[in-house]
Amino acid sequence: MAYLNYKSFTLGVEEEYMVLDPATRELQSHEQRIVHEGQKIIKDKVKAEMHQAVVEVGTDICQNIDEAFTDIALLRKTISDIAQSLGHSIGASGTHPFSHWESQLITDHIRYNEIVNELQEAARSNLIFGLHVHVGMETREMANHIANSTRYFLPHIYALSTNSPFWEGRKTGYKSYRTKVFDKFPRTGIPEAFESIEAYDNYVKLLMKTNCIDNAKKIWWDLRVHPFFNTVEFRICDVPMTVDETITIAALFQAICAKIYKLRQQNMNYIQYSRALINENKWRASRYGIDGYLIDFGKEEEINTRVLIYELLDFVDDVVDHLGSRHRIDYVHRMLENGTGADRQLKVYEESKNLVSVTDYIQSQFLTGI
């Protein structure tokens, strides 16, 4: 078979962190001081978010997974150091274990004011922390093809990322409650498949023409083809507690894209399943994480989620060496062994019966592995 070029599968990783009061462990507004100080060192890689207790970071365009690791590790360390110098601490969890959104301040910025004005309580209560992984593509046509096929795998990887079992001081019974909060927004969740990139662009144009949205970034699906760049953006995951988990998840998304590309070059494709079916698996992943069952639609039966994750590793096995990411993908075994962020949060809670201890644990893990 002709040599395949995997160079186009560059990576960009964005993480959202919570800013904490070291005394109370509550979420705390940093009045954008972390962002202002951060921009002196890491320029536009740090941004304000809608809520003032959130800091968002994003890597450069990384040529491979090791570059992404170096970048995210540096960003975590830099933000942590700045926060500490300003009297705050930092943690990574899809939701804060006990803070209430009602008491959190909104960042004064025209974009956020517009969103709050339009979405009201749904926007104000959207106090959640996610991970976004951008994977580069040769063309937007290829991006659309790959987005259609990779939708099926979103719940599998989401299950690995689950890291938000608590909400406003309550144990929710979910491994990821974050998406339940986000579901209140319009244009969220698993997208439909689009038969062509033109069909997708026409959908965006229609929404803009009819004043549903004023820009394509107000499409908040679990994955989307970027409106301007040749990238697919994966948005389903909770922000992981540690850098190793983040990088492993990014490597998995990259590998799935490369595998679908390889199949395409051999005139093959992965079966497309409907949004309605994939949603069943997404719900199971949010409720049970890696300890439940997902549906194998080919076999039409429930299969242990861990077994399906091992099958996914087999599926991408023939591209990971080309991507140089095997050592990162192998960390999935550790994640399955140690449990997800949600599993570890719940374990601390079972032992301590105390959500302050859970928050301390989240904070203590932020720089692990760096």
The CATH number of the domain where 173 resides is what? Answer: 3.30.590.20
Confidence grade of residue 340 (pLDDT, cut at 50, 70, 90): very high
Structural domain contains residue 5: no
Structural domain contains residue 55: yes
Structural domain contains residue 343: yes
Structural domain contains residue 3: no
Give percent above pLDDT 90 in the chain.
94
CB 170 within 8 A of CB 50: no
Query: Cα–chain-centroid distance for residue 140?
Result: 21
pLDDT, tens only, 280-290 = 999 999 999 99
Q: What is the mean pLDDT of residues 342-349?
A: 98
pTM above 0.85, yes or no: yes
Tell me how far apart the alpha carbons of residues 19 and 29 are, in angstroms, rounded to a whole number.
7
Structural domain contains residue 4: no
Tell me how far apart the alpha carbons of residues 242 and 7 are, in angstroms, rounded to a whole number.
27
pLDDT, tens only, 113-130 = 999 999 999 899 999 999
Structural domain contains residue 358: yes
Q: How many residues does the chain have?
A: 370
Q: What is the mean pLDDT of residues 277-306?
A: 97
Structural domain contains residue 353: yes
Structural domain contains residue 137: yes
Tell me how far apart the alpha carbons of residues 134 and 153 are, in angstroms, rounded to a whole number.
16
Number of domains in the chain: 1
Confidence grade of residue 4 (pLDDT, cut at 50, 70, 90): confident
Residue range(s) defining the domain that contains residue 114: 11-365
